[in-house]
Structure 1
Amino acid sequence: MAGFSSAELDRMLTEARKTLESMRQGNTAPRPEKTKTADGDALEGVGEAADGRIKVTAVAGGRLKSVELNPRVMRMSSQELGERLVEAVNAALEDLRAKAATAGAAEGAVDPAALGKQIEEIQNQSLRQMELITQALNDTLAKIGGSR
């Protein structure tokens, strides 16, 4: 019989459920539709450090758009400057994540928990249907084999 066996279908749907579980735990990047504001502008996250002397702007995909350094930061040691840059970048990325989450909630984003439950129901129903189809095929083959 061509197509998927019930075991293959079960495996594929199980993998989809695992992916959704991973999404629920926050192990994904922002979806493309969450990277724009309602006006269509790209979402940006901004972070500052060293009393505003370092300002970083981050955009979707964990990329930096800009790094602004006040000339006074050049008086810092290289180690301190590096630490403050990391602080500003992390703040910008966190701001971007928060804005993406807010944008998704405002747009009525898909609830991964509800979607996962629906996939589980589909998986269970499809397995039952596959078993019925397989049984019907086996019965038909048995009848054909028995009539020879």
Structure 2
Amino acid sequence: MNDFDPEDLERITARAEEMLSRVEELRSEIDMAVGRGAAADGQVRVTVGPSGRLTEVELAPRAMRMDSRRLAEAMLRAAQEAQDDVARKVEAVMAGTLGVGLPDENFGDLLESYETSMEEQLRAIEDRQRDGR
């Protein structure tokens, strides 16, 4: 008995392609996310990328008059604010796309898990075809 329907493969393939396309769009949206933070009345401003890595630090001339400890604290506060900002933006993109918030694991792990799952499903389909089921 052959219970394999070629239309099943077409549906699964179309769905996989659709999901992969959406994952790529999601990755692009996340890659463009930027977080900003400020401290010391705006004298210290920090920008971070989607991973939270610092991409820009701006110090107003008045910030240079601060003692080193106070300046360091302001830089740390601005960086933390920027990281929180980008995390909220990434979570909003994820929630808007997937209908859920960002899990504790990072996006790369999530994408790798998805790709592994898709590979396993495609192998199972190929095995069914080869076995004639």
TM-score category, normalised to shorter length: 0.5 to 0.7
Give CA deviations for 1:2-36 in whole Å, capped at 9, x if unaligned: xxxxxxxxxxxxxxxxxxxxxxxxxxxxx997564
Alpha-carbon shift at residue 71 of structure 1 (Å): 0.7
Which residue in 1 is equivalent to 2:58?
Answer: 68
Alpha-carbon shift at residue 108 of structure 1 (Å): 1.9
Which residue in 2 is equivalent to 1:77?
Answer: 67
Q: Would you say how many aligned residue pairs link Structure 1 and Structure 2?
A: 80
* TM score, norm. by length of structure 1: 0.48
Q: Gaps (5+ residues) in structure 1? A: 1-30, 113-148
- The amino acid across from 1:87 in the alignment is R
Alpha-carbon shift at residue 65 of structure 1 (Å): 0.8
Q: Does 1:86 align with 2:85?
A: no
> For 2:36, what is the secondary structure of its paired residue?
strand
Which residue in 2 is equivalent to 1:132?
Answer: none
- The amino acid across from 2:64 in the alignment is M
* TM score, norm. by length of structure 2: 0.53
Give CA deviations for 1:88-144 in whole Å, capped at 9, x if unaligned: 0000000000000001011125677xxxxxxxxxxxxxxxxxxxxxxxxxxxxxxxx
Q: Gaps (5+ residues) in structure 2? A: 1-22, 104-133
- The amino acid across from 1:72 in the alignment is R
Structure 1 segments of 4+ aligned residues over 6 angstroms from their partners: none
Change (3 A) 1:72 1:79: same
Aligned equivalents of 1:55, 1:32: Cα separation in 2: 31
> For 1:107, what is the secondary structure of its paired residue?
helix
